[in-house]
A = this chain, B = another copy of it.
Amino acid sequence: MTETPQSSGRAAAPAAGQAKIPRTERGRRTLRLILDAAAEEFGERGYHEGSIARIAQRADVAIGSFYTYFSSKEAVFRALVADMSRQVRDHVVPYILAAPDRLAGERAGLAAYLAFVRTHKALYRIIDESAFVAEDAYRRHYADVAEGYAASLQQAFGRGEISDGDWQVRAWAIMGMNVFLGLKFGVWDDERSVEDIAAAAHALIANGIGPR
C-alpha cells in the first residue's frame, strides 16, 4: 500500500499529446519529478483523494509548474496509466518469451507478474482505478493485453504446445485469473511464495480440475 514505484528510467513518454513536451534539460527533469510524485500520490491516496497541491509538494515544484506539463488532473492520471501499462508488459513479457514453451511461459510469466506487483502496489491500484476515471484507457489496457494473449496462445497452438479452443474466451479468462491472483497474493497477501502460486495456477491452466 505504501510503495514507491519509480516511473521507469526512460524519458516518460509524451502520453497521447496531453503533456507539453519540455524543451530543455531542466524541463525534462521537472516533468519526471512530477510524474513520479503523481504515481506516489495516486498510489497512496487514490485519484479523488489525491491532490495536485500535494503532488506539487512531493515534486518540490509550484502548482503552476504542474500545469505547465499537464492540462489537468485527469491528464496526468492518464499519462500514468499508459506508462504503467507499458511497465507491466515490459517486465513480464520477456519471462514468457524466455520459457521453453507457452505453458512454461505462462507459469514464469505469472511468477514474474506476482513479484512485480508485490514491489509496485501503487501501479496496480492506479490501473484498476482508471476504470472509473478514464474508462477508455482502462478498456484499452485490458483489450491490448487480451489481444496479445490470444495471439500468443494461437501461435502456441500452431506449434502443438496447447490444445485448440476459444482464443478470445481463453485470453480473457486467463487474464482475469492472473489479475485476481495478483490482487490476492500480490497486493493483499505476501505470505505464500510466488512460485507456489504460479505452480498451482499452471496446473489449473494446463490440466483443468476435471476428475483424474
Contacts and interface: CB of A to CB of B under 8 A. Distances in A.
Interface residues of A, number: 48
A211 B132 contact: no
Contact of A162 (B142, B163, B210): B210
Given A169-B197, A188-B139, A201-B169, A211 B162 contact: yes
A179 interface: yes
A200 B165 contact: yes
Contacts of A197: 169
Main secondary structure of the interface of A (DSSP, over half): helix
Interface in A172-212: 172-181, 183-185, 188, 196-197, 200-201, 203-212
Contact of A210 (B139, B170, B185, B206): B206
A137 interface: no
B48 A204 contact: no
A103 interface: yes
A180 B176 contact: yes
Contacts of A163: 207, 209-212
A131 interface: yes
Interface string A124-148: 0000110110000001001000100
A170 B204 CA distance: 7
A102 B16 CA distance: 47
Given A153-B209, A204-B208, 7 more contacts: A46-B132, A47-B132, A163-B209, A163-B210, A166-B200, A172-B181, A206-B210
30 contacts: A47-B132, A48-B48, A103-B210, A128-B131, A129-B132, A139-B188, A142-B184, A146-B184, A160-B211, A161-B211, A162-B209, A163-B209, A165-B203, A165-B204, A166-B203, A169-B197, A172-B180, A172-B181, A174-B177, A175-B180, A176-B177, A176-B178, A176-B179, A176-B181, A176-B183, A177-B180, A204-B208, A206-B210, A207-B210, A208-B208
